[in-house]
Amino acid sequence: MRFRTVVALTGALALSLVTGCAKGGSAGSSANTVTYWLWDANQLPAYQACAKGFEKENPGLHVKITQLGWNDYWTKLTASFIAGTQPDVFTDHIQKFGQFADLKVLEPLDGLGIQDSAYQSGLAANWTGQDGHRYGAPKDWDTVALFYNQKMAKTAGISAEKLNSLSWNPRDGGTFEKAIAHLTIDQNGKRGDEPGFDKHHVKVYGLATGGAGDGDGQTQWSPFTGSAGWTYTDKKRWGTTYHYDSKTYQSVVQWYFGLAKKGYLAPFTDYSEGANPANAQLASGKAAAAFDGAWMISTYYGAKGLDVGTAFTPVGPTGKRATMMNGLADSVTKNARNKKGAKKWVAYLASDACQKTVGSYAIVFPATPDGTKAAVAAYRKKGIDVRAFTRPVADKKDFTTFSYPITNYAADVYALMHPAMQDVFANDAPVSGLSRTNSQINLILDQ
């Protein structure tokens, strides 16, 4: 309880410092304007196109879009709720949903007539609060796959077929670890699986990472914990008990970060806040492969000098492959100045008309099946094979998909798990220490 109070006070102080920076919002909006915030610059053109379609169908209504970078987005959005400058509509992330539900700053969207069956499985249900009301309209979805440098893989004698048939286990890493070791090269040209390999002077890492993964490990360790049969909480949604004290979880995390100790995984020192080191390391030739999300497809394939391919996540101890399936949504703020127009805009964003438009830009996979088909076709037109991302959603026999943990006090969970996971990665702290962190988290959830 004391920790939560400290977090709350610290958060309030931080917000008081940034409140004056929150601009854009609903402030100054009129009855014929709907303000809309999003964070992804790559998606801005697609939603500008949707806005034109919406305005054509709704004469007299205008959509004003504001795009902010990921970190600024959440800081300014949270501050805007306090300052009263919140947008009418904003792009919501399931990782933040629990926090906003706690704060009661979202408007129920039950009247929009959204049916779960109209979207990819599970996407709509994730945005229902504990009170039974809907607070988000499905927007898009993503999964995780392995991006790899095709030239490096070919030189190492590892074919695409082999990369798509890898398996792993937390004891010896299986064929996955063998492949990553073979893709690793030290400054003397020795591969990670060859005698004389120098793990302290690595030129090319077999695997790059995007940091320690905090409490979800979406593009770091979640494909492994998922395929080991581990679940974040006791319930699929709105769990009340976390499982970071699980022996299964801790054995996977120990093995995963142990790859860095062996010299196969890029070390913590290569990670920097506000960047995507995995993508940067592949693009610079410093790493041969990296797990990353579907939202990064265009970025990897657009990197100059990088001939990239994608492969499925490896088969785990459960006999299945696993990937987090995340889905964004559009939410209306409770104090939106143009609430009627905002709900109309959200309904349009969730419609096939907008989702097919977004899909045609080949940036993300929209939430509706037809929107997804439009995206797949657009990627194919660019010569990009996206089956490593789409097949897990359709093939339930060989793949397992799972969501972000959706619970109360999401900000507190992050505040505890962020430093704890960094300590494991950066300082080789014992994974058993995560049991104490887990107890602190569950104590907060039990309030």
Q: Report whether 88 contacts 336 (CB < 8 A).
A: yes
Q: How confident is the model over 329-340, as pLDDT tens digits?
A: 999 999 999 999
What is the spatial distance between Cα 336 and Cα 81, in angstroms, rounded to a whole number? 10
pLDDT at 275 exceeding the cut of 80: no
Cα 338 to Cα 370: distance, rounded to the nearest angstrom: 30
Higher pLDDT, 59 or 1: 59
Size (the chain), residues: 447
pLDDT at 101: 84
Q: What is the pLDDT of residues 378-398, one digit of tens each?
A: 999 999 999 999 999 999 999
- For domain 2-141+329-382, give the fold: D-Maltodextrin-Binding Protein; domain 2 (3.40.190)
Side-chain-facing half-sphere of 186: CA atoms under 13 Å: 15
* Residues 370-382: tens digit of each pLDDT: 999 999 999 999 9
Tokens standing for 83? 């300052």
Helix or strand (DSSP H, E) at 75:
helix 70-83
Plot region of 42 (φ>0 → left; ψ -120 to 50 → alpha; else → beta): alpha
Task: Indicate the class that CATH gives domain 144-324+409-445.
Answer: alpha beta
State yes or no: pLDDT of 141 exceeds 60: yes
Tell me how crowded residue 86 is: count the other CB atoms within 10 A of its CB. 27
**Tokens in use for 373?**
């088909």
Phi, psi of 45 (to 5 degrees): -60, -40
398-438 per-position pLDDT tens digit: 999 999 999 989 889 999 999 999 999 999 999 999 999 99
- In this prediction the pTM is 0.91
* Whether 204 contacts 286, CB under 8 Å: yes
**What token pair was written down for 128?**
């229902």
Q: Whole-angstrom Cα distance, residue 371 to residue 363? A: 12
420 vs 129: CA distance, rounded Å: 28
Are the CB atoms for 206 and 180 separated by under 8 Å? yes
What three-state secondary structure class fits 146? strand
Tokens of residue 117, six digits: 């069956």
Tokens for 242, please give them: 């976390």
Domain regions of the chain by residue span: 2-141+329-382, 144-324+409-445
The fraction of the chain above a pLDDT of 90, given in percent, is 87
Q: How far is Cα of residue 424 from the mean position of the Cα atoms in its chain?
A: 21
Output the pLDDT for position 148: 98
Per-residue pLDDT at 3 exceeds 90: no
Assess whether the region 2-141+329-382 and the region 144-324+409-445 belong to the same CATH fold. Answer: yes
Give residue-wise pLDDT tens across range 89-137.
Answer: 999 999 899 889 888 999 999 999 999 999 999 899 999 999 999 999 9
Residue 175 burial (CB count, 10 A): 17
Mean pLDDT along residues 158-184? 98
Q: 247-261 and 434-445 are packed helices; what angle lies between their axes, rounded to 10 degrees?
A: 130
